[in-house]
Structure 1
Amino acid sequence: MEAPPIQYLLVPIDFSAPSRNALTTAVAMGQRQKASLHLLNVLDPTETDSRVPMPTLEEQVRTQTEAIRELARQISLDHQIQCAGECRVGSVSAEIVAAAGLTKADLIVIGTHGSSGSRAFYIGSEAYRVIKTAPCPVMTVPAHQSWTTFERILFPVRPVAGALEKYAFARRIIQQNEAELTVLALHPPDEVISIHQLEDEVAALIAQFARDGIRSRTLFQATDLIAETVLQQANELNTDLLIITATLDTTQQEFYIGPFTQQIVHNAHVPVLSIRPQASLTGSQRVEWRYGWRPQPHRNQ
């Protein structure tokens, strides 16, 4: 299986410590993948407090553009990788997605608890909107630290299409880190058809891992609470990267990131690589599960 190259990383930056952690993670990835970085700062005019004297929007754009370009210049000098920076004005998630399309980014690396002004931009709905609408996979990085390598990767698999497609993108990250991959095969209890589907899916993955020289092991687990189970296993296995298929639920008017993806991204203590499948699944192809979770204890770093 030919692994697609990861040549261009888009990194939203609001100059907070959490967004700088995401930047450190992206820089390490860029060095391993020989990829270029594009730093993006977004000014949302609707977030300004009219009661507080503020520079004009034009002045803010000029200041932020100078700051982001200086940061990009320093990254290039310090780490010997190509890095550019820009400032855009508008809705944070919309501008991130637009920039990803214009730059043809292969991956967005974004902090999940960055903040700018009066509210957190990179947590909750903003991060979910990026995952939902981005033209490429999204890696969300928790606020508390940065990651420079991924040695233990958890790869949850469910009896739905998309596992091989998810692996096709992630393969280069797995190989460049020489990581050990744990396939967590999840299925609803007592559903024979789902178990057979899952066994076939896992067998195809294991065969591909062997061809690619990937070290892997497989854990089968019956559960109704898949988000909770994934988070628990991530902690118990001392995982440093989660790779998930970002599922979409649809209504008559809009797409919504599914509960599984929301709960994983919001509660994981390690980076989460969310990969949306290219093909939409019909209702008959989905396995209906209950989604639930309890907050997981923070693993000692």
Structure 2
Amino acid sequence: MITNILIPTDYSEASFNALETAIVIAKRNNAAIQIVHIDDTAYTAEETYPIKNATQIGHAIADNIKQRHGIETTVFFKEGFIGPTIAKLALEMKPDLVVMGAYGASGHRDYFIGSNSYYTIKHACCPVLIVPEGKRWQDFNKVLFPIRPTLGGFKKYQYISDLVIKIYPDCNFELLGISIDRKDQDVKQVSEIADEMKSTWKNAVQYAVSYSFGKNIAEEVLDKADKTAPDMLVISSTVDVANKQFFIGPFSQRIINHARMPVLCVFRTPDN
């Protein structure tokens, strides 16, 4: 159950876009929204200035969400380094999901995914949904979900698929089985994982399975995303060969950096 969503904002177009997505998810789950604006002007070497009337803007946004959507909404104002502050707030508030713009909470100052988004994904105690600019993302009909047979992988995949269904109950999964050097064995295991996951879904979720046998997992996933145009891409630590707990390796980073659709990043689950 998604009951609490944390949304960092710098009042940029990217963060407002993420907020719109979070509102839709909150309404579907009767969840509360917690907005946080972080002033990092005293913590960066760049010449930046605090946003004028940031407090008034934040309260106005929260009031508007309450009035228009009937969602319980609170707003917080903090000072500090943005990434660590978000991760600390997530630990304290225990949200079920963090939703943030593709360029994180520092807007144009970040390159690609941005240091703040990267830090949040790596250190937050819950899944993080990264929402790109340029389009309103509200319906997630088609979800691309790369899976790779690993020890204990099924339990994580089951948790992730259940989370996706809570975000959008009418989704359909495109399961992309990843194999690097154990083609026949991995195909068999991916098929078994898909069947077992399907048996746990209570609603009529549909899925299809395809396979990738290339050495560069990131390029294979991005190529698949370009061809199938999913509404959401899901990644976890199992995408990277090292498969270390909480590990965000080069494959994951490249996928997040270059995906043209929202990316749900799940590097921690309730069991770890």
- For residue 124 of structure 1, report the CA deviation from its aligned partner: 2.4
Equivalent residues in 2 for 1:96-111, closer than 5 Å: 96-111=86-101
Unaligned stretches of 5+ residues in structure 2 = none
Distance in 2 between the 1:102 and 1:124 partners?
23
2:30 corresponds to: 34
8 Å CA contact retained: 1:47, 1:117: no
Match of 1:64 among 36, 46, 54: 54
- Residues 204-283 of structure 1 mapped to structure 2, 5 A cutoff: 204-209=196-201, 211-246=202-237, 257-278=248-269
Q: Indicate the residue corresponding to 1:82 in structure 2.
A: 72
Deviation at 1:48, TM superposition (A): 6.5
TM-score (norm: length of structure 1): 0.78
CA RMSD of the aligned region, Å? 2.8
Pick aligned residue for 1:47 from 44, 61, 67: 44
* 1:229-281, Cα deviation, whole Å (9 max, x unpaired): 11111221120011111358699xxx75211221111111000111114478x
Distance 1:86 1:110 in 2: 15
- Whichever residue aligns with residue 245 of structure 1, its letter is S
Give me the whole-angstrom Cα distance separating, in 1, the residues matched to 2:195 and 2:173.
15
Q: Deviations over 1:126-181 (max 9, x none)?
A: 21111111010000111222211111111111122334423324425426441111
Taking a change above 3 Å as real, the CA distance of residues 34 and 164 of structure 1, as seen in their structure-2 partners, is same
Q: Distance in 1 between matches of 2:183 and 2:107?
A: 49
Counterpart residue number, 2:141 = 151
The amino acid that maps onto 1:188 is I
Assess if the C-alpha contact under 8 Å between 1:185 and 1:202 holds in 2. no
In percent, how many aligned pairs have the same letter? 28
Q: Tell which deviates more after alignment, 199-208 or 21-30.
A: 199-208
Structure 2 match to 1:289: none
**Range that drifts further, 32-41 or 183-192:** 183-192
Over 3 Å counting, the alpha-carbon distance change for 1:49 and 1:276 in structure 2 is: closer
- The verdict on how the C-alpha distance between 1:85 and 1:48 changes in structure 2, with shifts beyond 3 A counting, is farther
Q: Which has the larger radius of gyration?
A: 1
Give the 4+ runs in structure 1 shifted more than 4 A: 114-118, 189-193, 247-251, 277-280
Any gaps of 5 or more consecutive residues in structure 1? 55-59, 281-301
SS at match of 1:243: strand
